[in-house]
Structure 1
Amino acid sequence: MILIHIMDILDIPPRQLLLFVDLCQTSSITKTAENLGLSQPSASRHLSMLRDALRDPLFVPAGRGLAPTPTAIRLLPKIDSLIHEYERLPGAAAISPPEMSGIVRFATTDYGAMVALGPALQRANNEAPNLAFEIFPLENDVFARLIDGRLDFVFFSDDPVRDGIEHYDLFEEDHVFIVRNGHPLTQRQNVTKQDVEEYSRLLVNIIGDRHSYVDDDSLGKATPGMWVPYFAAAPFLVTQSDMVMSIPKRAADSFAASLPMTILPISPEEEPFTYRLLWSKQLNDDPVINWMKELIRDETQQT
């Protein structure tokens, strides 16, 4: 038998305790989510956190619903009493960042990890030290995974955004050319698409087929010389060859600080693209999601 001390329960956010009591009554995660004004993915997230905190499954499948385990049955009177105590304290049900736990899951390229998640990471670690983060690659089913709850956030730059998905516009970004130091193009005043057509191009292929590479047409008819799956690998290869790459400026600035490469503005200037943070509408009432999306928006707008 697992022994659970009252202090273990006191460390659990009140909203998760409310979910526990309601689920004991309804035997349905769907019904409990409705009762508490949560989406089902959000309710499932809270239940997972409860199971981790109390080191017990708490509820197991039974017929068409969920049945409490013996541990859950023993805990119910204590938790129910504790909730009544919380109700006497104004604002006790709010979840603050230090109380947040679990894993926040992102799908992004390494570019997104560098320029969008990276600026927010230190503050997230300081304010919510019990949160962890996991990054998944962008794949063809990324929107389906976002909607069904397998992902929490996606960093994305293209239109349109699918139904059922919310988004913040984080920033606008320009593309630039990058070449090795001493490349013949560095001797020209204004580098055009026609200029780069003399050289092979290096393309970032983010999803896994040559038709899905990141290329804003700024390289014109230049011959493809290499496809790579990562932004981070591409500048190293550029410095070892005469290939030309079109890359978002924030990434170029970051790499240029440590690599022997030159950034060349594109002439004439092209329309910038908008970089976005996406999440499912079903998570609009999830406190972890709401806190994280505001943090990312705040931090990216300061860079």
Structure 2
Amino acid sequence: MDLAKVDLNLLVVLHALLETGSVTRAAERLGSSQPAISRALAKLRRLFGDRLMVKAASGMMPTLRAEAMREPLATLLGGVETFLHKPKFDPSATDRVFRIATTDYGALAILPNVAARFAREAPNAAIEIVSFSRDVFRMLADGQVDFVLYADNPVSGSFRARELFRESFVTLVRQGHPLLKEMRGAKDVLPIKLFTAWPHIVVSIFGGQGGPIDTALAERGYKRHVALRVPYFATAAVITAASDYLVTMPSRAARQLAPRLGLVMLKPPAQVTPYGYRLLWHERSHDDPGAIWLRRLVIDGVVVHT
């Protein structure tokens, strides 16, 4: 039998006839007319080469062939209904693993704000952080990750984006650092000469010799000595707490790390224009209920803790 030539609506009519045993009641159930149901029954008889429904004292009864089709037909139509129904997402029942590509900055800035609610609402689900790399947007396009946390630098591809917040920089030093005594009433703003007098740690994900702070310093005729480059903000903060190095990093990461490591937050003398930090996802997952739930969770967490 060529399925392309089969009107699947006829199977709905057959199911109604089997359930009601009456052309009249089948028409009422389907919101149709008796003549239309009778015409559909005629087509069904030609399709299957069987009378399917025959007259009986109380209406109509199925032939043996039709009776044999009752259960598989109900299963088939139930499957079609499930197939066509918009999927629902129940966080309390899911064991889905959401994969988010980000640096340790994104993890520090976002995860503490959502972890407790995530665990409470989706106790069997998980979040997997994928290390940020040059391939993350290809991975997002290929469906290997669900989301990317990234700055507002331009990206190409069929991606949706939601800005989560604007971010600025702060400088961290250990408590008892000698420069704190040298600031002499400068409050929490580091004088540029002190800033450039001490060695620095720079966090660089992909390497490179400079960043926005170095550009801002150069515009004023200054240069800092970068003594150490590392790819992780948390590592830089731990080393800063154990040395006289300075590290300048986004403020949300600093606020997570400073109180835990006994670090002092200061304003760098070279001010950089705040930048946007975004959540990105692919067009294919835009209407996915699970992805929508996690997006809202992240956005709500940022709003509450901003």
Q: Secondary structure at the match of 1:250?
A: helix
Larger helix proportion of the pair: 2
Aligned-residue RMSD, C-alpha? 2.9
Q: Any residues of structure 2 matched to 1:226-265 within 5 Å, and which?
A: 226-265=228-267
Give the CA deviation at 1:251: 1.6
Q: Deviations over 1:18-60 (max 9, x none)?
A: xxxxxxx99xxxxxxxxxxxxxxxxxxxxxxxxxxxxxxxxxx
Q: Does 1:139 align with 2:136?
A: no
Q: Deviations over 1:72-100 (max 9, x none)?
A: xxxx878645457879xxx9853332243
Call closer, same or farther: CA 1:97–1:244 in 2, change over 3 Å. Answer: same
Give the partner amino acid of 2:225: T
Q: Secondary structure at the match of 1:117?
A: helix
Give the CA deviation at 1:278: 0.9
Contact preservation (8 Å) 1:206, 1:213: no
Contact preservation (8 Å) 1:236, 1:259: yes
Task: Give the equivalent residue in structure 2 for 1:202.
Answer: 201
Contact preservation (8 Å) 2:213, 2:270: no
Contact preservation (8 Å) 1:204, 1:213: no
Task: Give the equivalent residue in structure 1 for 2:208.
Answer: 211
Give the CA deviation at 1:266: 2.3
Contact preservation (8 Å) 2:203, 2:229: yes
Give the CA deviation at 1:130: 2.8
Distance 2:96 2:233 in 1: 29
Contact preservation (8 Å) 1:186, 1:264: no
Q: Any residues of structure 2 matched to 1:117-196 within 5 Å, and which?
A: 117-187=111-181, 188=183, 189=186, 190-196=189-195
Call closer, same or farther: CA 1:201–1:151 in 2, change over 3 Å. Answer: same
Give the CA deviation at 1:213: 7.5
Give the CA deviation at 1:148: 1.1
Gaps of at least 5 residues in structure 2 are 5-71
Distance 1:203 1:271 in 2: 18
Distance 1:296 1:236 in 2: 27
Give the partner amino acid of 1:294: R
Task: Give the equivalent residue in structure 2 for 1:15.
Answer: none
Q: Secondary structure at the match of 1:245?
A: strand
Contact preservation (8 Å) 2:87, 2:289: no
Gaps of at least 5 residues in structure 1 are 1-24, 27-75
Contact preservation (8 Å) 2:237, 2:257: yes
Give the partner amino acid of 2:126: A
Distance 1:86 1:253 in 2: 48
Distance 1:193 1:138 in 2: 32
When structure 1 is superposed on structure 2, of 187-196 and 147-156 the one drifting more is: 187-196
Q: Deviations over 1:256-291 (max 9, x none)?
A: 212232111123643212111111112112111111
Give the partner amino acid of 2:289: P
Contact preservation (8 Å) 2:141, 2:157: no
Give the partner amino acid of 2:226: P
Q: Any residues of structure 2 matched to 1:6-155 within 5 Å, and which?
A: 80=76, 82-83=78-79, 93-155=87-149
Q: Does 1:223 align with 2:225?
A: yes
Contact preservation (8 Å) 2:203, 2:232: yes
Task: Give the equivalent residue in structure 2 for 1:292.
Answer: 294
Task: Give the equivalent residue in structure 2 for 1:280.
Answer: 282
Call closer, same or farther: CA 1:240–1:86 in 2, change over 3 Å. Answer: closer
How many pairs were matched up?
Answer: 226
Normalising by structure 2, report the TM-score: 0.66
Structure 1 stretches of at least 4 aligned residues deviating more than 6 Å after TM superposition? 84-87
